[in-house]
Structure 1
């Protein structure tokens, strides 16, 4: 089978196409013939690594797992003898989590992983794009205990997490303001943003409004600038916070009593199934910016790392 490996930390050139033996599933695993995967911000950060402290988890001198990628979308083609949840031929999608390994034509994953049936109404490309941004957005929105008619401003609203957060905040009844570049105004409005502004307006002195939830998706604004527009008793969400921001946020929470949500998310099968239901019913749209063949993985990484994508970037592995 074809896989993309990252055997050393560094630039996208470290991503190389290799031929591996097709793996055999263990007793509790399913093997997925992987039609599509995706590239997200977490992928390129692991590759570099960024921040350097990530080496403590992913490998000190080189990636412990040379095959990156967490999103799988394909068909079950073999099952271990103890598997009861899935059968050969099932269309499935979901996340391999920190085990990664999704940049490959075949992936073996425990049946207990965050994997579920992919309905016929959802394409393999949509299945590959769903897990990362939408699971992240949903987990953080749940942590905010969002209520109907609350106000939320989403910074980086055209990103994978942002496009998901707009729709999910709407689903829970909030009034959404989106912050993105002017070229993406129509996109975020089509997803349910009631008002929009660009980054310059967000940071301007004329921006006086306060919001119940400030939802920072991309890690490109300071905690100080976000707190300026946070209503008293509100919640600040830092989706892309690195260690420095996490430390600062933790200190503010302890000393000032400010509610700040950050850190790793909890991927759950319940949340994936909710997202599946909403997508199947047409209440949630998976935004796909562009697709690349597996052999162009380095190019896809460069595009995602540049920080200008709209929604998700999909990798076509098999037809």
Structure 2
């Protein structure tokens, strides 16, 4: 008889890391267009932190219950990404077969912090790099997917000057690498402690935010990738070249509501949304990883039973790159 249960990290209510517990949950069943992944690894990201704690950027608290749930999490199994092995496929699936090793961006549907997860084959799922372990491969997903979406939105390419604010996090470290691989000159903003890391990822220049304010040093950029939440358009407008872009991966309510208006007024792209990222787009990152041009950035690895400690570490705000959760 087939086992219909699985182990999963579940948050029944909002709160600190201790609200997350590993329990027996119902194993998902793939729909006709979905693949069922036996998850080997996921990551604990800033998105998991915000969803669990309801610690949202200024002004967005009102929208939290709409997106996350009123009294408890609408999606109690967190985890936006997964790396694992396809166990079963729906009747309409043609791109994957049982046994395929894959990585997937589950996105706002979450579900990666469990032994099994489902995703439609038309979404951001692709075969994992052959030269990476599951724990390494999963680090390509959350940060790489997000960075790719925003760099594509701005059309970043050869000769562009790009600044990444918050360059040592999951998205920032991916943005540094992908922008550099596109031929851009990259300036990374981070702490002095992370300067060597971002240089090793390809950053041409590093600014220690404790010593220098990039928004007031007179330098300008074709694109600013904002991964921190402190680079509002009013602050950095004069640091963006004519026709350039402010890519707000993180922003507050004011930034969200004023983005379109600031774009029209300034002639510069101000956006809180990236371009769609397909499985083929994710495969382009896999190719870069297989050729050694793109590297995994892992801070720490926790086992599923250490999920509380993993959340507690992410809550510190000091992680470098990715915090990996080993499921299998």
Q: How does 1:50-199 map to 2 (within 5 A)?
A: 50=56, 51-52=60-61, 53-199=63-209
Q: Say if 1:206 and 1:136 are closer, same or farther in 2 by CA, change over 3 A.
A: closer
CA displacement 1:186-228 (0-9 Å, x = unmatched): 1111111111110034417872222222221121333333223
1:276 aligns with 2:281: no
**Do the aligned partners of 2:160 and 2:184 also contact (CA within 8 Å) in 1?**
yes
1:46 to 42, 51, 55: 51
Displacement of 1:59 in angstroms is 2.1
Q: How does 1:244-255 map to 2 (within 5 A)?
A: 244-255=254-265
1: CA distance between counterparts of 2:136 and 2:12? Answer: 29
2: CA distance between counterparts of 1:194 and 1:178? Answer: 8
Q: Which moved more, 1:69-78 or 1:216-225?
A: 216-225
**Do the aligned partners of 1:72 and 1:127 also contact (CA within 8 Å) in 2?**
no
**Do the aligned partners of 2:215 and 2:235 also contact (CA within 8 Å) in 1?**
no
1: CA distance between counterparts of 2:321 and 2:287? Answer: 20
1:222 aligns with 2:232: yes
CA displacement 1:220-239 (0-9 Å, x = unmatched): 33333322322233211111
Stretches of structure 1 lacking an aligned partner (at least 5 in a row): none
Stretches of structure 2 lacking an aligned partner (at least 5 in a row): 1-5
Q: How does 1:231-250 map to 2 (within 5 A)?
A: 231-250=241-260
CA displacement 1:253-306 (0-9 Å, x = unmatched): 233333212136523212101111111111111111111111222222222232
**Do the aligned partners of 1:159 and 1:218 also contact (CA within 8 Å) in 2?**
no
Q: Say if 1:150 and 1:205 are closer, same or farther in 2 by CA, change over 3 A.
A: closer
Partner of 2:3: none
**Do the aligned partners of 2:102 and 2:128 also contact (CA within 8 Å) in 1?**
yes
SS in 2 for 1:237: strand
Moved over 6 A (4+): none
Partner of 2:316: 306
| Corresponding pairs, count | 318
1:16 to 21, 34, 37: 21
Compute the TM-score of the two structures, normalised by the length of structure 2. Answer: 0.91
Q: Which moved more, 1:204-213 or 1:275-284?
A: 204-213
Compute the TM-score of the two structures, normalised by the length of structure 1. Answer: 0.93
